[in-house]
Amino acid sequence: MEKGHQNEQKHEVPEKEGTLKAYLALLAGSLGLFISLGWVNCIALFQAQYEDNQLKDHSPSDVSWITSTEFFLMLFLSPVSGYLFDNFGPRVPIFIGGLLQVFGLMMTSLSTKYYQILLSQSIVAGSGTSLLMNPCMTAPMTYFRKRRALAGGLVVAGSSLGGVVFPLMVGNLLPQIGFAWTMRACAFFTLGLWAFVLLMISVNSRAHELPISIRDFQGNVYINGVQPDKYGRFNVMIVMVLFTSIIDMAVWLPGKSNTAIIVFAILFGVGQGACIGLLPVLSMNLSPSPSEIGFRLGAALAVAGIASLTGPPIAGAIAASSGGLYDNSFIFAGVSGVVSTAFMGLLRGRVVGWSILAKETYK
């Protein structure tokens, strides 16, 4: 027993955080989300483009399937990406994913018919972003333990930056060089960043030697750093999910002005960004073995993919039954968030403890 305890303590000695290789992996992961999740954040621009040009003979509902399918596949195929990451490392899914995304965008630039755009942009490019996203989220965090939430936040920040840069890029290029060359420009831009990601991404091999146990995340300890690392990642996740749910109902419903909409967008973005950043962190925390991290994160994202596909039709149906107003849709979203908060609280109680002050322990 004593020998086993000594071996366990030996495994629990943490590796020094903050090496050059770790920071390069962090940068690569952030850029990987820039070109994958960041790209998908600008797909709403193509809804109007297709309705007014290539697909003007199709209904807005038909066109919306192009964008929603791309987002759905990006999330739903994450278990495949996770499996490849767990078994072959980050470079294999990133290599395949980058090729698919660049090829899909190039083929979209040549597409004029509905089925061509659906196949190239939604299915091919959407599958590529899925293979890119999971390893770029997971690999950098294998280098961090105490500051894992901070690392996750920095990685996910790349998607936010991409969600700003790509819409500006597409919006400015479309009227100047047309749709075809805009898509090619985005493809070449993605190609350059993808090459950097492929070269610099890596995984901490020592992380696969360390057993990860639920016990690693029980108890109370004070950790200096950003809020999740300091106050507990489960605690911050619960607060931010509840915060986002409250924003849906407390800000949107009474807000009738443009100012209120801007305030809603800012506050909702803060809450949503925190939830996205903490998802891969908590997936790592709950994995009994590092070799299962990618698949478990992929499974969580796949569930989100189902919601991304069914959510817009549900919201639209609720709005249609309410005379075109979205107030009831936001009530539905807020209530769903409250239910999610309750389940998250149950999970926290099982993993960390039922005390309101309980948070994860790191040795």
pLDDT in tens, 133-190: 989 988 888 888 777 777 877 888 888 889 889 989 998 999 999 999 999 999 999 9
Residues sharing a CB contact under 8 Å with residue 212, sequence separation 6 or more, in sequence order: 284, 285, 287, 288, 289, 290
What's the pLDDT tens digit per position in 177-217? 999 999 999 999 999 999 999 999 998 866 544 333 333 33
Please give the residue that has the higher pLDDT: either 353 or 171.
171
Please give the residue that has the higher pLDDT: either 63 or 245.
245
Output the pTM of the full model. Answer: 0.75
Write down the domain spans for the chain. 20-351
**Average pLDDT along the chain:** 81
- Average pLDDT, integer, range 212-227: 33
What's the pLDDT tens digit per position in 85-136? 989 999 999 999 999 999 999 999 999 899 999 999 999 999 999 999 989 9
pLDDT computed for residue 91 by the predictor: 94
Banded pLDDT at 24 (limits 50, 70, 90): very high
What is the SS3 assignment for the chain?
A: CHHHHHHHHHHCCCCCCCCHHHHHHHHHHHHHHHHCHHHHCCCHHHHHHHHHCCCCCCCHHHHHHHHHHHHHHHHHCHHHHHHHHHHHCCHHHHHHHHHHHHHHHHHHHCCCCHHHHHHHHHHHHHHHHHHHHHHHHHHHHHHCCCCHHHHHHHHHHHHHHHHHHHHHHHHHHHHHHHHHHHHHHHHHHHHHHHHHHHHHCCCCHHHHCCCCCHHHHCCCCCCCCCHHHHHCHHHHHHHHHHHHHHHHHHCCCCCCCHHHHHHHHHHHHHHHHHHHHHHHHHHHHCCCCHHHHHHHHHHHHHHHHHHHHHHHHHHHHHHHCCCCCCHHHHHHHHHHHHHHHHHHHHHHHHHCCCCCCCCCCCC
pLDDT computed for residue 46 by the predictor: 82
What's the pLDDT tens digit per position in 37-88? 889 878 778 877 888 888 888 877 788 888 888 888 988 898 999 899 989 9
CA pair distance 133, 128, nearest whole angstrom: 9
pLDDT computed for residue 296 by the predictor: 79
Nearest to residue 117, comparing CAs of 54, 23, 201?
54
CA pair distance 241, 245, nearest whole angstrom: 6
Q: Which burial class, exposed, middle or buried, applies to 6 when counting CB atoms under 10 A from its CB (0-12, 13-18, 19+)?
A: exposed
Q: Which percentage of the chain shows pLDDT scores above 70?
A: 85
- Average pLDDT, integer, range 7-12: 41
Nearest to residue 170, comparing CAs of 305, 46, 294?
46
pLDDT computed for residue 1 by the predictor: 40
Residue type present at position 17 = E
Banded pLDDT at 301 (limits 50, 70, 90): confident
pLDDT computed for residue 236 by the predictor: 83
pLDDT computed for residue 187 by the predictor: 96
CATH 1.20.1250.20 fits 20-351, yes or no: yes
244-269 as b/e, with b when 16 or more CB fall inside 10 Å?
Answer: bbbbbbebbbeeeeeeeeeebeebbe
pLDDT computed for residue 2 by the predictor: 39
pLDDT computed for residue 208 by the predictor: 46
pLDDT computed for residue 228 by the predictor: 54
Token digits of residue 193: 């960043």
pLDDT computed for residue 35 by the predictor: 94
